[in-house]
A and B are shown apart, each in its own frame.
Chain A
């Protein structure tokens, strides 16, 4: 009984300690970001590995998600004789929800896990300690460029995901199922609002990018420096990012679209 309580207490304390470490880590990283911007070369290389290498999976997934939306939406809408609204359905679901969320989940799986593994291995092989010995701040040299790269990449990836998805839906709806081309675009344009829908989608993806890259870097930086520790950290990155993104998505949606009816 007492052992159980002690265990619970230890878990709680560990949780808050980790949370505090995570916040300190974020603050220290953010403090290094302006310095990093003076060395765009480092950010550029990281943008390549974080953003460009994720591009393919984003393009392919976006296309298929859009095509499935087109197919499912058409089958539902055609019962009501409203298949012209397919453009609205595809565009709104992609821009508001699926674009930011699915892009963030794919980003966590493709880039976030790689970031964690890379930094965790750097720690396990004491490269980070070595940098400190040479008076090079690893936060500045290693972490901050990756942070900036991830933060910049995800909104772009989410926008690409949405755009490709809409063309995927257009291909299925207009190309294969025979929805009218003009109605597809014009109904979409009539219903999708720049400020209400697109800006909010971009804001969502910016928040998700921030959270995803923060979790990935912190898990790597905080990993137990063994092979097992790095593997656990990588797993945690994907799981925690997915949970954080989905939870935040609900909160952001409630804040942004909750009072749309007014």
Chain B
């Protein structure tokens, strides 16, 4: 009976530990959310400036998460950042003239890629490159431009 109790409690302990690990993996991390393996396809896009975009950043259409950024490289030929995106195969009907923009969620949130479907009859397939892109808004540039406009606008006022 004593041995049985010991074995039983050890079994419960190990099962509890495994359950905790499983819970951490599935519930807490992004594994259960979007695995990104198997049924997905790759598209890429060249951006002049990707701002703070990172690998694993979300890719969205109309705010719905459809994939994630798989890799970010710099192309020395065109002097642009090439972002490879892995998109879930459930969303394989994106038109060929879809445009990609880098936005920020909220004022200080993380950056993500927003795809905007165009009107083409053909769809994007694995390995395609999106032609229409809009770079990330870099806050310093915007502020600089604003200050520049402010400064150049001032003398005309009086």
Chain A interface residues (CB < 8 Å from chain B): 44-45, 47-48, 51-52, 55, 91, 95, 153, 155-157, 159-160, 162-164, 166, 185, 188-190, 192-194, 197-198, 201-202
Contacts and interface: CB of A to CB of B under 8 A. Distances in A.
Nearest to A190: B30
Given A44-B7, A47-B13, A159-B24, 13 more contacts: A48-B6, A48-B9, A48-B10, A52-B13, A156-B16, A160-B16, A160-B20, A166-B24, A188-B28, A189-B30, A192-B30, A193-B30, A198-B24
Nearest to B34: A189
Given A44-B7, A163-B24, A197 B29 contact: yes
A198 B21 CA distance: 9
8 contacts: A45-B6, A95-B24, A159-B17, A164-B20, A189-B29, A192-B28, A194-B31, A198-B25
Interface in B1-57: 6-7, 9-10, 12-14, 16-21, 23-25, 27-33, 56
A10 B128 CA distance: 72
Contacts, number: 77
Interface of B: 6-7, 9-10, 12-14, 16-21, 23-25, 27-33, 56, 58, 110
Please report whether the interface of chain A is mostly helix, strand, loop or mixed according to DSSP: helix
B28 A95 contact: yes
Given A193-B56, A194-B30, A197-B29, A156 B24 contact: no
Report, nearest first, the 10 A-B pairs whose CB atoms are least far apart: A156-B17, A163-B20, A159-B20, A194-B29, A160-B20, A159-B21, A192-B29, A194-B31, A52-B13, A48-B6
A185 B27 CA distance: 8
Contacts of B20: 156, 159-160, 162-164
